[in-house]
């Protein structure tokens, strides 16, 4: 029926970790985004969202995040190929490693930006701005 996608809002030293999606990506290639990806079919499983976050962050940018995540928000969209996606964003704590574009099929570069830089950036999609705004609000609580 739909794809379940998770995204990691990773905050460190006053900035958010963003990636420039690879031009090879079918959906939103070349755009800035949070790190994340699809849940895989696992049958019966526990902590699938948290484990997917950890796997995707490690595969895409080579860092580790804790399993202790905080829900930010959820949304749905349809890809250019007509696939229906439920997207769930979590606030994650960075624990180890320096991020880099580990998977060239998925990531062209990593970029650290402040909340203000993201919110004031003219070319960033509104959903990314909203995700960061809500994640930043959680940090203040």
pLDDT in tens, 19-55: 987 756 666 656 799 999 999 887 788 899 999 999 9
What single DSSP character describes residue 124? Answer: S
Query: In CATH, which of 3.40.190.10, 3.10.20.600, 3.90.79.10, 3.90.1170.50 is domain 3-140?
Result: 3.90.79.10
pLDDT in tens, 47-95: 999 999 999 999 999 999 988 899 999 999 998 889 999 999 999 989 9
CB atoms within 10 A of CB 35: 26
Segments making up each domain of the chain, as ranges: 3-140
pTM: 0.91
Q: Identify which of 20, 9, 5, 21 has the alpha carbon closest to the alpha carbon of residue 137.
A: 9
């Amino acid at each position: 029926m739909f794809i379940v996608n998770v995204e990691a809002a990773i905050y460190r030293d006053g900035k958010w970790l963003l990636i420039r999606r690879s031009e090879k990506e079918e959906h939103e290639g070349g755009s800035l985004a949070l790190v994340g990806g699809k849940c895989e079919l696992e049958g019966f499983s526990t902590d699938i969202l948290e484990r997917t976050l950890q796997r995707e962050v490690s595969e895409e940018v080579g860092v580790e995040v804790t399993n202790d995540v905080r829900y930010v928000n959820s949304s749905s969209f349809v890809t250019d190929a007509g696939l229906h996606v439920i997207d769930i964003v979590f606030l994650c704590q960075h624990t180890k490693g320096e991020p880099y574009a580990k998977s060239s099929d998925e990531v062209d570069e990593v970029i650290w930006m402040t909340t203000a830089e993201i919110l004031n950036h003219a070319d960033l999609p509104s959903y990314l701005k909203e995700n960061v705004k809500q994640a930043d609000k959680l940090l203040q609580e």
